[in-house]
Each structure stands twice: as C-alpha cells, then as structure tokens.
Copies of this chain bind each other. A is one copy, B any other.
Amino acid sequence: MTDNSTASETRPLSATLGALRAALGEDSVRVGEQIGERAMTDWTRHAPTRPAALLLPRSTEQVAQALAICHAAYQPVVPQGGMTGLAGGAIARSTDIALSLERLSGVEEVDAASATLTVRAGTTLQAAQEAAADAGFELALDLGARGSCQIGGNLATNAGGNRVIQSGTARDQVLGLEVVLANGDVLTSLGKMVKNNTGYDLKHWFIGSEGTLGVITRAVLRLHPQRAARHTALVALDGYDAAVNLLRRLSTRFGNDIGAFEIMWPDFYDLGVSWTATARSPFADSHPLYALIEHASFDAGDDGGRFTAALTDALEAGAIRDAVIAQSVADARALWAIRECTAEFPARLDPVNFDVSLPIGEIGAFVDHCRAALDQRWPGNASYFFGHIGDSNLHVTVDGHSIPGVDHHAVYAFVYEMLRPLHGSVSAEHGIGLLKREFLPISRSPAELAAMAAIKHALDPHGILNPGKLF
C-alpha cells in the first residue's frame, strides 16, 4: 500500500473540510446544525453526539477521495449505515467525521445464472431482499431491523439474525466485496465465483471488522432458491439435553430444512405467553423447556406430513413431552408471538441484554449456573433465558427494574465474567463496538489481540478508521 499522506500530524479541521468540499461538493459535507439526529446515535440509545462533520459521498470514488484526504490529515472517520447497531459501533465522537453510505444505494444487478445479487452498501436489507424475491430467489439474511439497516453495516458487523441455522451469518452470503482502505485505495473483489483460491481471500478481512479496516462500498451476495413450504411447531421438553438430542434427531432427518430451533426457558416462555392476546399457553401443563421449531422445505408439495411424523416419532420415543403443530399461518403466528415478545422488551422492561455464544453442549449448564449466580448476587432479579441453540447463541435479559439501584455495567461485568473459564464469546452476533470493548479480553487471548492490532496497523497505519471501536 502506498502511504498517501503528506502531513506527519493532524491537520486543522478547516483545511480538511475545505479539501473534502472541493472533492465531494458542498452539499456532501455537512457541519453543525446541518447534521440531523440520525447521525448522532444508534439503537443502543447512547448519548447523542454531533460529529465534527457528516460526509454523504455518492460513489465509491468519492468514498476513496474522502478517505485519502482524511488519511493524509490523520482525521478519524466513522462509517455509518442504517444506525441500527446494538453495540455503538457507528457512533461518532464530536471530533470524528461521520461517513454515511446512504447515497450509495440500490441493487445493481441480479444474475440469475450465478444466483447472485450485486448491491451498493447503502441499500437497506429489505430493498435487497425484495430485489431477490422479485427475481424468484431468497436472500438468506434477515433481521428485525431489515427496513432500516443497510447491507454495508450488515457485512461490516457480520450480522446474524433469523436464518443462521439454515444459511449461516452475513459472512456466508458474500461472494465478492468492494472496500475502500483507509488511504483511499479501492479493493474491488466483486467476483461471483464460489471457488477462488488466488491469494488471500480479502473479503473475510473486512466482514465483521466493524469498520476498523476499510469501508465496504459494494457486495456480491449469494442468492438461494425460495423455500416453498413452512411448518411450525412448539415442543415441550424435559430439559436442555433433550433439546440438543431433538435438534440432532431433526437435523439427521431434515438437514438444514430445519429453519428455526428457538429455545425458551420457562421464565421467558411464561413472560412471552402472558403478553400474548390470549395470555394462555397452548399446553395445559408447565414444562422445563420449550422449543419453537420451523421446518422449511423446497418441496411445494410438502404438506408437513413428514415433519409431523418426525415429532410423533419423537413423542412415542419419549424424546419430547408434548407438541403443538400449527395448522394454519394464523396458528404459526400465534406460536411465534410468544418468542417475539422480545420486541416489547425495550418498552416493558429495563433490559440488560446479553448476546453470548458457547458450545451447544455447554449452554444448558451455563444457564443453570448463571441463574443461580444471579439469584445469589441479586435476590429477586427477573431474568429471562432464550436462544438460537442451533447457532450456539444464548440470549439473557436481566430486567433492571427488578434490581433497582444496580448499574447495568455491574450486571454486564458479572455475567460476562462467567464466560471466561468456558472460552465463551461475549458477542455472538451484535459485535463489540464501543460498548463491549472492555470485555473483549474475556473472549480473546493477548496473542489474538496483538495479531488484530498488527493487522489494524498494516491496513490503517494512521488509525483513522472508527477509532475507539473494538480496540
């Protein structure tokens, strides 16, 4: 890489803004009151901060020009997408320049032969999904924030979401990527090929790097055929081991036609049921654990008979306690409503949210241990456990209202520390961003952190890209 800098230290902001205006045009460089609230915080509701400037480039070339200028001036830059992050990764400080990708928007191509979609970074996930669907395909990435989040942010954070058990994370959807490096060099690796062993696979450096190594401007995403039939069941289980066994039993029979395997412990399940319209569980009795399972088949003629037979077999074998199988879309929605009570967490609780991952076999014991430890530390706490166990992902929400006077940070530190001996991950899907930096060493060794720092320095020697995030 060429070092385009001429300065050896930070330039005055006025000179940098002047150069940016000359390169991008007046209307692409906003300051002060011209900067709307959108650029000031994200879904973490972190204290809003107005960045020193907001850039709105219209093309990859303009992104490259902007970064070259900021690189030369040692000027920190914070890439911004849909601002739906849950770790503060796109929040700018008052001395940072925010770089919004929102004008780099639109699907450039759907290639049916390759089953790929080429999209600009500022396109919303929903717009990309719709373009795929219009061409008869499915984009196998889906999040609650789909209407607001942008593809660039999805890839920069390696978003997870609702389809991971079936099709992997955002990373697994990417065939090609265009990235602008800190110094303005453009890496255009927009290949549509599944196989390509020509040197380092550069796209993987940037996916999940939270904007600290480069700015993603375009991507080629893999498309999947649409699944033609979906069947949903709610299953009652003896406990965690039974859930893992059921997951293996169904995977053996259906492979990745199992499209959801959501586990709910009774605390969560009872809360979810109580918030539904009927406030009644479809089961007469209480059970130690519940699983919401979706079977999604490519076979339009699949009437759910094979899925029902598999659950019946499991019931007869004593592998499950009971099952309710949705007979209609309305039935399926009613079952999903229990799991989706999380949408109301921000309004009805004071949620302290955890998004951790552990080996699948260890999640059950961790939940027991974590609950006991929370009860001992804060008697009377209300905590809810649920997860995508097929993805090794556990969510825990502690309701701050139940432990008045306890700072959220104390709860974070207490729960994350329990992951250390288990080599668990403090972030399964949300990322590290600003909010989990201090906990990163729980999941990463000093040697790993040193290697990350070496790579960061190699690709961003002036340290301008999203400083203060991750590290």
A contacts, CB < 8 Å to B: 1-2, 111-116, 136, 157-158, 160, 164, 168-169, 171-172, 181, 185-202, 204-205, 207-209, 213, 224-227, 244, 248, 251-257, 298-299, 306, 357-361, 390-393, 423-432, 440, 443-445, 447-455, 457-459, 470
Residue pair B194, A164 in contact (C-beta under 8 Å): yes
Min CB–CB distance A263 → chain B (angstroms): 13
Residue pair B113, A244 in contact (C-beta under 8 Å): yes
Known: A157-B197, A199-B470. 15 other contacts (CB 8 A): A1-B447, A1-B451, A114-B360, A160-B195, A168-B194, A187-B451, A193-B392, A193-B424, A197-B429, A198-B444, A199-B432, A225-B248, A225-B251, A227-B255, A457-B458
Pick the contact of A204: B204, B428, B440, B458 (CB < 8 A): B204
Residue pair B157, A392 in contact (C-beta under 8 Å): no
Pick the contact of A255: B195, B298, B455, B470 (CB < 8 A): B298
Residues of B within 8 A of A188 (CB): 445, 447
Pick the contact of A199: B172, B298, B423, B452 (CB < 8 A): B452
Top 10 nearest A-B pairs (CB, nearest first) are A113-B361, A204-B204, A458-B458, A195-B428, A192-B359, A193-B357, A193-B392, A198-B443, A196-B425, A225-B252
Residues of B within 8 A of A255 (CB): 224-225, 227, 256-257, 298
Pick the contact of A114: B113, B168, B359, B455 (CB < 8 A): B359
Min CB–CB distance A137 → chain B (angstroms): 9
Chain B residue at minimum C-beta to C-beta distance from A190: B423
Min CB–CB distance A256 → chain B (angstroms): 7
Complex formed: what's the CA distance from A452 to B455 in Å? 11
Complex formed: what's the CA distance from A169 to B193 in Å? 12
Min CB–CB distance A244 → chain B (angstroms): 5
Residue pair A1, B200 in contact (C-beta under 8 Å): no
Min CB–CB distance A282 → chain B (angstroms): 28
In the complex with contacts A169-B195, A226-B252, A428-B193, A451-B202 CB distance below 8 A? yes
Residue pair B199, A440 in contact (C-beta under 8 Å): yes
Residue pair A429, B459 in contact (C-beta under 8 Å): no
Residue pair A425, B2 in contact (C-beta under 8 Å): no
Pick the contact of A189: B1, B192, B257, B448 (CB < 8 A): B448
Chain B residue at minimum C-beta to C-beta distance from A254: B298
Chain B residue at minimum C-beta to C-beta distance from A2: B450
Chain B residue at minimum C-beta to C-beta distance from A195: B428
Residues of B within 8 A of A164 (CB): 194-195
Pick the contact of A187: B248, B426, B448, B459 (CB < 8 A): B448
Residue pair A429, B392 in contact (C-beta under 8 Å): no
Residue pair B181, A451 in contact (C-beta under 8 Å): yes
Complex formed: what's the CA distance from A157 to B200 in Å? 10
Pick the contact of A448: B197, B202, B450 (CB < 8 A): B202
Complex formed: what's the CA distance from A254 to B299 in Å? 7
Residue pair B423, A198 in contact (C-beta under 8 Å): no
Residues of B within 8 A of A440 (CB): 198-199
Complex formed: what's the CA distance from A366 to B199 in Å? 23
Residue pair B197, A431 in contact (C-beta under 8 Å): yes
Residue pair A357, B199 in contact (C-beta under 8 Å): no
Residues of B within 8 A of A160 (CB): 195, 197
Residues of B within 8 A of A455 (CB): 200, 205, 455, 458-459
Residues of B within 8 A of A357 (CB): 191, 193-196
Min CB–CB distance A314 → chain B (angstroms): 16
Pick the contact of A195: B113, B224, B392 (CB < 8 A): B392
Residues of B within 8 A of A186 (CB): 447
Q: Which of A168, A191, A196, A448 has the most CB of B within 10 A?
A: A196
Pick the contact of A426: B172, B198, B428, B432 (CB < 8 A): B198
Residue pair A113, B359 in contact (C-beta under 8 Å): yes
